[in-house]
Amino acid sequence: MATLYLTDGTQEEVCPADGVKFSLEELQGFVGGWIELVRLGDGRNMWINEEGKLEGLPLNILATSLACLPYDIIVGDALVATNAETGDEEDEDE
């Protein structure tokens, strides 16, 4: 199950509509626009709004701390999911 980190500091557990993998439209819906991938150190994927800073989206403190980016921040809502949930072939056999 994936976790949606909202800018208000709350989290929501979410599942793909088909029960297996999130579609592009689902990922875009969670972050409110074009998506950008941030790979986390634990092997999971974080999906964020690619144009979030240009759009002036609010800081996401929880997502920023998860991403461990030394000179950057995450803005807007962020979805954290496994590779299998987002269609990445790296761990589909696990």
Per-residue tokens: 23? 């579609």
Which helix (H) or strand (E) element contains residue 11? strand 11-14
Alpha helix ranges (H) inside 12-60: 24-31
Coil/strand/helix, residue 55: coil
Report yes or no: 47 and 86 within 8 Å, Cβ to Cβ: yes
Per-residue tokens: 39? 């790979």
Higher local confidence (pLDDT), 69 or 38: 38
Q: Tell me: the pLDDT tens digits for 40-70?
A: 989 899 999 999 999 999 999 999 999 988 8
| Full-model pTM | 0.88
Domain boundaries, the chain: 2-91
User: Rounded to an integer, what distance in angstroms lies between the CA atom of residue 40 and that of residue 57?
Assistant: 21
What type of residue sits at position 28? Q
